[in-house]
Amino acid sequence: MAEADVQPPALIHSTQRYLEGPEATELHTVIIWTNDLSPATKGDGKIWVIYIHGGAWRDPAVDSMAFEPTVSNLWTSSKNSAIGAFASINYRLSPYPSHAQKPSNPNDSSRNVHHPAHLLDVANALLYLDEQYGIANRYILAGHSAGATMAFQLSNSYLKDALLPTPTCVLGVAGIYHFDDFVEAHKHIPAYKEIMENAFPDHNVWEDASPSLTKLSGPALWEEAKVIIISHSDADELVEEGQSSTMIKRARSIVQAERVHSIQTTGKHDEVWENEWNIKVGKSRVNHLLSSPSDDNRDAVTFSRMVLLTILILQS
Instruction: Give the model's pLDDT for residue 265.
Output: 74
Give the chain's mean pLDDT. Answer: 84
Q: What is the CATH number of the domain that holds 144?
A: 3.40.50.1820
Domain-embedded: residue 206: yes
| 288 belongs to the catalytic site | no
| 59 belongs to the catalytic site | no
Question: Helix, strand, or coil here: 74?
Answer: helix
Calculate mean pLDDT across residues 171-190. Answer: 95
Rounded distance between C-alpha atoms, residue 79 and residue 126, angstroms: 27
Domain-embedded: residue 253: yes
Neighbours of 102 (CB within 10 A): 11
CA within 13 Å, CB half, 12: 8
Domains: count for the chain? 1
Domain-embedded: residue 259: yes
Domain-embedded: residue 3: no
Asked, as a colleague might, if the bond just before 116 is cis with ω within 30 of 0, I would say: yes
Domain-embedded: residue 218: yes
Question: Do the strands 139-144 and 83-89 form a parallel or antiparallel pair, or are they unpaired?
Answer: unpaired
Calculate mean pLDDT across residues 131-151. Answer: 95
Residue tagged active-site, from 145, 155, 212, 244: 145
Domain-embedded: residue 2: no
Residue tagged active-site, from 59, 63, 130, 236: 236
Domain-embedded: residue 28: yes
Instruction: Give the model's pLDDT for residue 38.
Output: 61
Domain-embedded: residue 1: no
Please check whether residue 261 is in contact with residue 292, taking contact to mean a CB–CB distance below 8 angstroms.
no
Instruction: Give the model's pLDDT for residue 279.
Output: 33
Residue tagged active-site, from 28, 232, 261, 269: 269
Calculate mean pLDDT across residues 37-53. Answer: 79
Rounded distance between C-alpha atoms, residue 174 and residue 14, angstroms: 28
| 145 belongs to the catalytic site | yes
* Domain of 16, in residue numbers: 11-315
Could you tell me the CA-to-CA distances from 174 to 114, 147, 237, 245 in Å, in that order?
A: 21, 9, 10, 11
State the Cα torsion 117-29-225-306 to the nearest 10°. Answer: -120
* Residue in 129, 173, 148, 171 with CA at minimum distance from that of residue 269: 173
Instruction: Give the model's pLDDT for residue 41.
Output: 66
Statement: residue 289 has pLDDT above 70: no
Please check whether residue 36 is in contact with residue 10, taking contact to mean a CB–CB distance below 8 angstroms.
yes
108 CB contacts (<8 Å, ≥6 apart)? none
Instruction: Give the model's pLDDT for residue 70.
Output: 85
Instruction: Give the model's pLDDT for residue 255.
Output: 53
pTM for the model stands at: 0.88
Q: What percent of the chain has pLDDT over 90?
A: 60
Least confident of 109-123, 232-246, 247-261, 285-299: 285-299
Instruction: Calculate helix-pair angle for 68-76, 303-315, nearest 10 degrees.
Output: 50
Least confident of 83-97, 192-206, 292-306: 292-306
Calculate mean pLDDT across residues 14-42. Answer: 88
If pLDDT is split at 50, 70 and 90, which confidence band does 250 have? very high
If pLDDT is split at 50, 70 and 90, which confidence band does 246 have? very high
Statement: residue 9 has pLDDT above 60: yes
For 84-110, write each residue's pLDDT tens digit: 899 999 999 999 999 999 999 999 999
